[in-house]
Amino acid sequence: MNTATITLPRRGALHNRSLTDWLFAALVVAGGIYAFARYAPAMDVYEKGILACAMPALVALGWFWRPMRLLAVLVAAFSLLAIELYSQHPGNFGADLGAGDKVFLLKYMLSSQSAIMWMAVLFYMSTLFYWGGMFTKSGANSTAEVIGSKLAWGAVFMALTGTMVRWFESHQIGPDIGHIPVSNLYEVFVLFAWMTALFYLYYEARFKTRALGAYVLLVISAAVSFLLWYTLARDAQEIQPLVPALQSWWMKIHVPANFVGYGSFSLSAMVGFAYLLKSSPPRPLVIGLVAVPTGVVLAIFATRFGASLEPDVAAGLQSWATKLIGLVVFFALAVALRKPLTARLPSLEQLDDVMYKSIALGFAFFTIATILGAFWAAEAWGGYWSWDPKETWALIVWLNYAAWLHMRLMKGLRGAAAAWWALVGLVVTTFAFLGVNMFLSGLHSYGTL
């Protein structure tokens, strides 16, 4: 007797959604419709297109990673609360931004600058708790690390709220002033901080360990420290009109895509650092993490005192040497305390996997950002590529991680060699991001130091 095999059709992703999934989707769509209804006059056709695409993207992200739902709802609710508080005090072009110094909630929590300062405090506290958890004797996830994770989520919430409110504030200054807050160093450092933290928090949930928080929060806290210094030194929190080259819709997609790359590359470097502490014998660590930076410091001091330099150049070299001394001391302490610092880390295989996935994600988005940047350059300056210092160093960063991925996929690059390469990659990326602005001038010199 013949029997027929009946194959039922596979149920699609939409059929497996729960009631809460659909409620979240409905809330996102309702929010998008509200944004169109209220802010359409302030948006051009490209911004409307970006908003239309952002709605399904946010729904998909919330379905993929559930914690994003609560984050999105809270950011939307508190951003709208801040806008409402501002709107109760009319000004020349909309709301009176002076209300930020008069209304209690705005002054101490919800104005963009207050929210971003809260972000800084919460990231610092998160770092301290993550590091405190490294030295406790409880299970895999200590109470201190759990608190550190919650504080990191709080910092991301305040950063996103501050970003949304700053976007609104920029539109209240004057006609054609408003813009998405990704246009200068102050704004992109906020973007870098919350985006890198979100990437880490995803991997934290994915691998069910908080032990990497102490490492990744270090680079975020360093970015926050630079942000605070830059704010004090340049009054960088002040919203400024965009220069003509930045008055383009390309900026709205090029810059965020770039910082997906920067955040992922930074995360991979800190995971590589953790990998090296866990796996490498002390001698290579001392040579690579302590002796090499020490040699650089000595070379800088030799140049500083042995050559006839302009006073400002000499002062700059001495300042950098002093900063590097702090880095040498940190690395020396990390090598000396490597046992407690690595006791809670995941397996080397998991660390290697996180490092690879971070670089792969970052490389994909950095490639997209570079292509978008070429289109933007053609619109702004009439050519897709001009070998401007920023473009040249972006190419160097791209080639560095392209080579890393090639060696990984074709030659099986693993272990300490991959980790060292990822750590050096952070140096290359940092110079491309900051060093070009500090030491080289060109068409991209919008955020000078």
Question: What confidence tens digit (pLDDT) does each residue in 376-409 have?
Answer: 888 877 878 888 888 899 999 999 999 999 999 9
Question: 448: helix, coil or strand?
Answer: coil
Nearest to 432 by CA among 357, 369, 381: 369
Tokens representing 143 are: 């109470």
pLDDT-derived band at 240 (thresholds 50, 70, 90) equals confident
In DSSP notation, 25-78 reads HHHHHHHHHHHHHHHGGG--HHHHHHHHHHHHHHHHHHHHSTHHHHHHHHHHHH
Dist. CA 102–CA 316, nearest whole Å:
41
309-316: average pLDDT? 69
Question: Which residues, 6+ apart, have CB-to-CB distance to 399 below 8 Å?
Answer: none
Identity at 88, one-letter amino acid code:
Q
Dist. CA 200–CA 178, nearest whole Å:
31
Q: Tell me: the pLDDT tens digits for 197-236?
A: 999 999 999 988 898 999 999 999 999 999 999 888 888 8
Dist. CA 216–CA 196, nearest whole Å:
8
Side-chain-side CA neighbours of residue 23 (13 Å): 7
Residue 73 has pLDDT above 50, yes or no: yes
What's residue 8's pLDDT? Answer: 44
Question: 11: helix, coil or strand?
Answer: coil
- Cα Rg for the chain, rounded, in angstroms? 24
Q: Tell me: the pLDDT tens digits for 164-195?
A: 999 999 988 877 788 889 988 899 999 999 99
Residue 50 has pLDDT above 90, yes or no: no
CB atoms near residue 109 (< 10 Å): 17
Q: How far apart are the first and last CA of the chain?
A: 83
408-435: average pLDDT? 92
In the chain, domain spans: 21-238+250-439
Q: pTM here? A: 0.91
Ranges assigned E (strand) in 319-431: none
What's residue 164's pLDDT? Answer: 95
Residue 284 has pLDDT above 60, yes or no: yes
Side-chain-side CA neighbours of residue 361 (13 Å): 20
Instruction: Estimate the share of the chain in helix, then strand, then coil, as percent rounded to the nearest 5.
Output: 80, 0, 20
